[in-house]
Structure 1
C-alpha cells in the first residue's frame, strides 16, 4: 500500500523546549565563580581567627577604612605609575633590541651572553644595588621594572624576527627592497604578534617585581601597604593589598589585550 508522505504527521520537539535552550550569557560564569569563591572563603574563615584568615566581611571593612583615609587609592596610584613607567620603557627598548639582534648576526652573538646571563637573575637580587646606585626614590623602582620587562620583550621580539619566512625576505630583496625597507615592510609586521606577547608577559612579571621593590624601599604603594599591615598585625589590610594587586593586574591586562587585538588587526593577524 502506498504511503502518502505529505499526509504523514511530522515529528517535532515538544512546544517550548527550543525556547528553553537558551545560551547562558558569558558573564554569568565568572560572577558565579567569584560568588562561590567568596562563599568558600567565608566558610573556611569561620574555623580560624581573624588574624590568621580574616573573613570577606572583615576584609571589606578594612578596604572601606583604607579607601576613606585615601591610603588605598594612594597606594594603587603609586604602584600603577611605577609599573607603567618601567614596563613602557622596557617595551620601548626591548623591541628595537630584539629587531636589531635578530637582523644583525654579529650583534646577536655579542649580546647573547649578557641576555642569557641577566634574564636568569631575578630582579629582587638587584634591589639593594638599585637603592645604592639610584637612591630610595622612584628611579630605583622604575629601573627594577624596566629590568624585569626588557629581556622578556627583547627575546620574544628576537624569536619573531628569526621566525620570519626566508622566502619572504628573498622576495623583498628581489623586488629591490633595501635592509631598512625589508625591516619595515616584512620583518616588523611578522614580528608584531611576538612583540605584543612579550609585552603581556612582561606586564605580569612587572607586578611580581613591584611588591618586592616597594617592600624594601617605598613609603607608598601596594607593597608598602602590605608590609605596613604586617607591622600593625592587620591581616585584613594584607588581603586588601593582594586583592588590589590582582584587580590592577586584571585591568592592565584587559587594556593591553584590547590594544593587542587592535594592533594585530592593523597588521592583518588574527589574535
Structure 2
C-alpha cells in the first residue's frame, strides 16, 4: 500500500471514529451507499472494467419502470419468493420443534433433513420439471425447499440449545411439558428461529433466479437471463440491484420483528 493510500485510509478511519457515534444508523447506511456509488462511478469512469455506470443503469431502470416491465418482474418474483419462503418457514418451525423436543422424532426426521441439506436445491430443478411440469409449482417448490432446510436446522438447534437448568427448574415447580414448551422452550429458542428465518429468506432470493429458468415469462431472474442473451448489462444490473434492495428491505423488517420479539435478550452495543 502506498503512502498516499495509507494516509487516505487513516484519515477515513479517524473521520468514521469521530463522526460514527454521533450519526444514527440510517445516516451511516446512507453514507455507505453514497461511498459505494462513488466507487462504482469512479471504476466505470476510469474504464477499469467493462461495466455500465450508475447513470446508465438508472436510465435503464426508468425505461423498464415506464413500460411496466420492472413492476411486473418485481411482482412475479416477490410472489414466488414469498410463497415458497412462507410455506418453507411455516413447515420448518414445527418440524424443528419436533426434532428438538422428541428424540424419536429426531431419529426419524433428522437423517432426511441432513441428506437433503447436502443436495443443492438447484440440483432438484430437473426433477421438479419432470414431476411438476413447467408451471409455477416447480419454481415455488425449489424456493420452498431452500427456505425449509435453512429454517428447520436453526429451529432444531434453538430447541436443543435451551438451558436445561431452566427446564429442570420449571419441572421442580410442578410445570408440565404443556407449560414448559410455550413458556420456556419457545421464548428461549426464538432468537435461533429468527436467525434461521433470515437465512431462509436469503436462500429464497438466491434460488429465485435459477427457479425462473423454468419456463418463466416474467420475473427478475427471467429478465436477467433474457438480457444475457443480448449482452444487455444495464438490464442485468437493474435486476440485480432490485433483488438486493427488495431482499434488504425484507431483512430489515425481519430484524425489526426480531428486536420486538427478543427485547428481553441482552445485545452488544
Asked if structure 2 preserves the Cα contact closer than 8 Å seen for 1:119 and 1:151, the reply is yes
Asked if structure 2 preserves the Cα contact closer than 8 Å seen for 1:131 and 1:217, the reply is no
Q: Which has the higher helix share?
A: 2
Query: Which residue number corresponds to residue 31 of structure 2?
Result: 32
> RMSD of aligned C-alpha atoms?
2.2
Query: Which residue number corresponds to residue 222 of structure 1?
Result: 220
Asked if structure 1 preserves the Cα contact closer than 8 Å seen for 2:96 and 2:155, the reply is yes
Tell me which structure has the larger Cα radius of gyration: 1
CA distance 1:74–1:186, change in 2 (3 Å): same
- Relative to the length of structure 1, the TM-score reads 0.85
Which of these residues, 49, 54, 57, is aligned with residue 52 of structure 2? Answer: 54
Query: Which residue number corresponds to residue 44 of structure 1?
Result: 43
- C-alpha deviation, 1:165, in angstroms: 1.8
Which of these residues, 109, 120, 123, is aligned with residue 121 of structure 2? Answer: 123
| Rounded Cα–Cα distance in structure 1 between residues aligned with 2:23 and 2:253 | 25
Asked if structure 1 preserves the Cα contact closer than 8 Å seen for 2:97 and 2:155, the reply is yes
Query: Which residue number corresponds to residue 269 of structure 1?
Result: 265
- C-alpha deviation, 1:224, in angstroms: 0.2
| Rounded Cα–Cα distance in structure 1 between residues aligned with 2:47 and 2:22 | 40
| Rounded Cα–Cα distance in structure 2 between residues aligned with 1:181 and 1:241 | 48
| Rounded Cα–Cα distance in structure 2 between residues aligned with 1:192 and 1:35 | 35
- C-alpha deviation, 1:135, in angstroms: 2.0
Which structure 1 segments of 5+ residues have no match? Answer: 1-20
| Rounded Cα–Cα distance in structure 2 between residues aligned with 1:23 and 1:117 | 49
1:242-269 CA-to-partner distances (Å, cap 9, x unmatched) read 000110111110111111111213xx33
1:14-46 CA-to-partner distances (Å, cap 9, x unmatched) read xxxxxxx99345444333332232222223223
CA distance 1:166–1:216, change in 2 (3 Å): same
**Higher mean C-alpha displacement, 129-138 vs 35-44:** 35-44
1:174 aligns with 2:142: no
Asked if structure 2 preserves the Cα contact closer than 8 Å seen for 1:145 and 1:210, the reply is yes
Which structure 2 segments of 5+ residues have no match? Answer: 1-18
Query: Which residue number corresponds to residue 183 of structure 1?
Result: 181
Query: Which residue number corresponds to residue 205 of structure 2?
Result: 207
